[in-house]
Structure formats: structure tokens, C-alpha cells
Structure 1
Amino acid sequence: MCWLFDLGNSRLKCAPLMADGRAGESIAIDHRNGALAAALDRHLPSEFDVAYLASVADPALRVEVLQALTARCRRISVARTQSRWGDFRIAYADPARLGVDRFLAMLAAQADCSGGAVLVCAIGTALTVDLVDAAGGHRGGRIAPSPTLMREALQARIVQLPASGGSYREFGADTPDALAAGCEGAALGLIERSLAMAGRELGAAPTLYLHGGGAPALLPQLPPARWSPQLVLQGLARWAALDTAR
């Protein structure tokens, strides 16, 4: 048995690698409470063959996860961003500067869209946007704070502003709603502008993919979007297929 692991800044997502080469049902573990080892004990088998890991987290946390996996599996394969993958080519001159989560999400979205142009948006701690044309060329991307990070940053500087709560409406009638309208609205504006500019650049609108823990809050305002919570894990499954073939 093989397992896939997507280690982000807030959560560790893991899923078994299925016989058809896709990620199975995933488990999300919030590692900010310091109980990562205990959570892994609850959710993972005591022994398995291979662990495939994609990590953009703090190096110390990555080491903690690697130590936990070493005690359980025979081999660990750490995914890294590649300049090319088949027809897919990244825009960055230095592949190491493009987060592996963005790389894997683009791989998965491009495969899911059968080679069509895609705009891949992740809403986690950060909000990232990446455009891939129909020929597999990565046109580049954007990075901004997510709505959650915006709220936390505001509350850190202005303590009377709540870091969460409120409901999105175009113009909030109280402070929590106004904060939701402002921070979620900023994210929506960035995604909508990216989609519009991508359509202008490519001559046709790309398929919009959304993933990440903050995406569900934005989905009602983005009806064209494809909600793909396992996008990074599915991309990691593609990585695993190549690793197995070597």
C-alpha cells in the first residue's frame, strides 16, 4: 500500500494511492495544535510500502512528518517542482522557486481538463492563481493573502476587529459582515480579474479550478468554478506514477 501526503502551512492532507492511480478518500489534519504525531497514529496504518510527500511547510514541521513516516514505511519519495512534465512547462526560470503544491495542482487540473486551458486558484494561508494554456504553457501566476490571513492580519493590528465571523454580502451592515465583504471581496476581485485577463490573453476563458480550505466560502460567488479539494493529491498521484515507472 502507498500513501500520498500534502503538507501545507495549516493542514496535512493524506490519502491512499488507489489501484487506478488516483488519490483515494482524503483525511485533513490541522497541525497547528501540535498534535500531529497523535493524529497520524489514529489515521495511518502502522506499516505501508511507500509515502509520497509534497511539502511547502516550515522545514522543522517537514522533518517531523518525515520522521513519523520513516517509522511506518519502507520508502519516502519527496515531490519536487520540475521545469517540464510532458507538454507542461512552467514559467519560472528556477523550478525551486515555484511551490510544489502549485506545480502539482496545475498538473492535475490540466489532466482533468483534457489539455484545455486552466486557471488554478488555491485559497489556503495564501491565495495563489496560476494560468496554463491549452498547449501546456504556464503563463505565470499571482500570490496574495487569503481572506483568512487578511482577517488575522487586521485583527493583529486592530484588536477590536474580529478575526473571523460575518457573512458575505456586497455591502456589510455591521463590522463582521463588512470584514467578510472586504476580505472575501478582495479575493473574488483578484480571481475574477485573473479570469477576465486570462480570457483576453488566450482568446477564450480557461476552466477555473478552486481548491484549498478557504475555497468553499467563495464558491457561491464563483459559479463557473470547479471545486477540486484533492487537486494537489491528484497531482501527487501523477508524480507517483512516474516514480513507480523509474
Structure 2
Amino acid sequence: MSDWLFDLGNSRFKFAPLQGNRAGDVQAWPHGAEAMPTDALALLPSGDTAYVASVAAASLTASMLEVLQARFKHVRVARTEASCAGVRIAYADPAKFGVDRYLALIAAAERGQAVLVAGVGTALTIDLLDADGQHHGGRIAASPTTMREALHARAVQLPAQGGDYSEFANDTADALASGCDGAAVALIERSRMQAATTLGAVPALLVHGGGAPALLPLLGDAQFQPALVLDGLARWAVHQPPAAR
């Protein structure tokens, strides 16, 4: 019987087998679990234990857990804790710190170096972790995709997608792409600059999430870690006491 990892986000549902303390090959539905047809759900794996992380709405999380409970002997849901796997969260109330951000930090901590972790999904999240595993807090903003959708919702003549990045664009689609991508890049770069002041050295930059690839060409030495949350869930799973596994 195998163990599996499941990450239910705001816009994507991803899962992978647990292989040691890492995620194996990742599969995903990019439109979110609420859009998965019955025949797709029927193809989900089964096994001994399902480890689950969710930032989706409570009703959606509950429906997915019900599906997994029918396919696995045990279902364990990750919750943010004050500390785990050497990571210590800066929030006074850890429960208010998103579990996806928490797991990304747990995965990043395995490197043993200071890192700035940027997740680009529905939201843009940025968190600073020092080499000793201390979280120094972070930021949350709208991702470029969400910025575009919000602008389109308020002004339908502004396209919700399309365009290419340019420092000074000469048409509307390119200007939108440049402004929204540029805003995200600027926030990440400022955070990294301030992180260097806080820590005394420039941290490594790790990016993950469905919107990350579009920003990579603008972020210099950024390292793309597409399975960061699932890898963190894997590390969380192996750090649970035997009675909870």
C-alpha cells in the first residue's frame, strides 16, 4: 500500500506519490478540483495514507477529503504549527499562516541556507527564511494573473490575458503584461533587497506556482521549484509521530 500527497490550491489540484521525504512525479488539474469531472476523480490513486494540504474553501476541501477517505485507509491533513522540521514560524498565531506557505518553507529549509520563497498562484506570497530555519515573515499581494482579471472585471476593454513584457510597452496588451508582471517582480526584488539588509547577505530566491515561469526571465538567478509545496508536505509527513502517520 502506498502513501500519496495531495495539494488542493485555489486554482490547481496536484498530487504525487510520497517517495522518502520528497514528492514523486506530480500530476495536476490546472483548473481546480471543483472542475474535475467524475471520471477524473475515479482515476485518483488509492493506498494506505493520503497526506493533504488545502487552502481551498472549506466546502471544497470537505468534498475532496470525502473522496480521499473512500480511497485511503488514513487521511492526514497538514496544519500550520509553530515549528516543524527545523522551521520556526514568525506568526504569533501559526494558524493564520497559510499551510501552503508553511510547507514551502519546510521544503526550502532542507537547503540549509537563507532563502526568499515566492509563490505565484492566485496570490503572490513572499516569505523569508534564514539559514537556521527562522521565518522572518513575508508579504501577500495579488499575482499578475489576478491583477489582470481584476482589471478586466472593472474595465472589460482591458484584456485579461495576452501581451508580452516590455520595459516601455507601445500597445495595451503588452502594457498590461509589463505592468502586472513588473509589479510582481518589483515586489520580489524589493523583498530580496530588504532581506539582505535584515540578514547581512542576499538570500537565494526560490519561486514556485503556476504563474512562476512567466516571471523567471525577469528574476535573474531565481530557481524554479514547481513541487515545493508537495515536497514540504512530504517532509511534514515523515516528521509526524508514528501514531499520527
Alignment of 1:1-246 (within 5 A): 1-18=2-19, 20-29=20-29, 30-31=31-32, 34-42=35-43, 44-45=44-45, 47-111=46-110, 113=111, 115-243=112-240, 245-246=242-243
Q: Which amino acid aligns with 1:93?
A: A
Q: Which amino acid aligns with 2:58?
A: P
Q: TM-score, normalised by structure 1?
A: 0.94
Deviation at 1:88, TM superposition (A): 1.8
Q: Deviations over 1:18-74 (max 9, x none)?
A: 2x33110101112266225432323x23x3111000000011110111011011010
Q: Distance in 2 between matches of 1:141 and 1:36?
A: 36
SS in 1 for 2:239: helix
* Count of matched residue positions in the alignment of Structure 1 and Structure 2: 241
Q: Distance in 2 between matches of 1:36 and 1:126?
A: 26
1:37–1:68 Cα contact (<8 Å) kept: no
Q: Which amino acid aligns with 2:79?
A: R
1:167–1:181 Cα contact (<8 Å) kept: yes
Structure 1 runs of 4+ aligned residues shifted over 3 Å read: none
Matched-pair identity in %: 57
Q: TM-score, normalised by structure 2?
A: 0.95
Q: Deviations over 1:186-224 (max 9, x none)?
A: 000000000111011111001100000000000011121
2:208–2:228 Cα contact (<8 Å) kept: yes
Q: Distance in 1 between matches of 2:143 and 2:113?
A: 27
2:83–2:89 Cα contact (<8 Å) kept: yes
SS in 2 for 1:196: helix
The alignment yields a C-alpha RMSD, in angstroms, of: 1.3
Deviation at 1:137, TM superposition (A): 1.1
Query: 5+ residue gaps in structure 1?
Result: none
Q: Distance in 2 between matches of 1:242 and 1:104?
A: 12
